[in-house]
Amino acid sequence: MRVKHKLTELSIKQAIKKANSSTKTIKISDGGGMYLQIQPNGSKYWRMNCRINGKQITLSFGVWPDVSLAQARMMQEESQEIVGRGINPIEKKREQSRLQLEEMLVKESKEDILKNTFKKVSHEWYKRQTLNWTEKHASDVLNSLKYHVYPDLGEKPISSITKQDVISSLRKIEAEGMHETCYRVRQRLEAIFDYAEIEDHCIGNPSKGLQKIFTKPKPKSHHSLPISELPELLKKIESDNVSYPSTILAMKFMILTFVRSSELRFADWEEFDLESKEPLWIIPAERMKMRETHHVPLSKQALEILIEMQKHSGAEGYVFPQVRNPKKPMSENTLLYFSNRLGYAGRNTIHGFRTVASTILNESSKWSPDVIELQLAHQEYNKVRRAYNRAEHLNERRKMMDWWSNYIDSLMKPADVIYINNKLRRNG
């Protein structure tokens, strides 16, 4: 059915002029589910709502005037045609990105196609592994091979590489004091040579048993704040007037949702359903440590933070982008530096908030340990629990997240909390 369009370039300019004096987000419809969303900060985004397999999704077509009205309508027609074939445009875009990555790897391997060099075989191994990895982890692995292994071993026939070749390459990493990197590269070399041996590219694994001769990296510690000091931290965050607003909002959102740092930093607006009666953040499996889709019910407090964040980051792309480069996610050190500046250097890590939340939720005796573990997205090794549907008991998890947000609010009111054996307790 042909869409009856409503907008003109003139009517858009008139609407924008009118919206300049508004503090609310304004949407002007062009018909067929497409509209121009005008943010209070002046940003203007093309959006289209449509349904696929009974579920509403929102597509992004770019920013006006970089994307003109005519261009947006062309994108609308293309998307309608794709949806009409029962295909989710968002999933199609992700598939295209995956194919582009594969094409890049094929291109890089063309010179090696006639000989089983280490680079060629490692690319074969890499392509098979990426199906089970997050995009970030895949990038980390590829970069570690490019910078630390390929210069020495990349062009050598994999069958000719000796134990001494591997040791020599790893010693260079260790000599720079990068013990953690050395440890991870050695693990990846061992996996690649295991694959090569299975595929008959080489005999034996020259990287086996080398962990004994290299310095073992110090285990990472996730310092967590004593529960009794949590109210003071919250007040310091609330009263901070030096940091960027987006940094403060990100820290508050981290505490309310207790997700992993990477899950927050790479959060995309497309993952959020904010207009539902029960707002939800659905983190796709490819971004989760345990490779399972994760549901985060959003309390009213978390929702308010996201609405406020839209004034700073707009409503597309990364929810918490870099201040100077919105196309990149917030740096992994931003929240840590913020915490350090507040006086908690060496005393609290960002991961430590997960420990604090787990402790308080368990000690409250209000919530099932299974529900808490589900919300923390922890791996369950017990066979029965592993079969437990992580989307189940979503209502109970929503109640728990509401309780948690209200509890955090209560810590700002000294009369509402008491201490027992230096442990924080909430009255009532």
Name the catalytic one among 47, 184, 236, 289.
Answer: 289
Name the catalytic one among 150, 183, 244, 388.
Answer: 388
Rounded Cα distance, 35 and 234, in Å: 39
Rounded Cα distance, 31 and 48, in Å: 9
> Residues 318, 323, 325, CA angle at the centre, nearest 5°?
70
Q: Say which amino acid occupies 342.
A: L
Element holding 282 (H helix, E strand): strand 280-283
Q: Say which amino acid occupies 303.
A: L
Number of neighbouring beta carbons within 10 Å of residue 380: 15
Active site residue 354: yes
Largest Cα–Cα separation, the chain: 74
DSSP string, 198-262: HTTSSSS-TTTTGGGGSPPPPPP------GGGHHHHHHHHHH--SS-HHHHHHHHHHHHH---HH
Active site residue 351: yes
Rounded Cα distance, 133 and 102, in Å: 14
Active site residue 378: yes
Name the catalytic one among 44, 252, 294, 354.
Answer: 354
In the sheet with 55-63, reading across from the earlier edge strand, the strands are: 26-31, 34-38, 44-52, 55-63
Name the catalytic one among 94, 351, 393, 425.
Answer: 351
> Residues 415, 419, 420, CA angle at the centre, nearest 5°?
145
DSSP string, 29-75: EEETTEEEEE-TTS-EEEEEEEEETTEEEEEEEEETTTS-HHHHHHH
Q: In which residue are the tokens 């971004």 written? A: 287
Packing angle of the helix pair 135-148, 118-129 (nearest 10 deg): 170
Rounded Cα distance, 357 and 372, in Å: 9
Active site residue 171: no
Name the catalytic one among 127, 347, 378, 399.
Answer: 378
Active site residue 289: yes
In sequence order, what are the beta bridge partners of 425? 418
Asked whether 130 and 138 are in contact (CB, 8 A), the reply is yes
In sequence order, what are the beta bridge partners of 56? 51
Rounded Cα distance, 314 and 340, in Å: 28
Name the catalytic one among 73, 148, 252, 260.
Answer: 260
Element holding 28 (H helix, E strand): strand 26-31
b/e per residue, 313-326, with b = 16+ CB within 10 A?
bbbbbbbbbbeeeb
Question: Which residues are tagged catalytic?
Answer: 260, 289, 351, 354, 378, 388
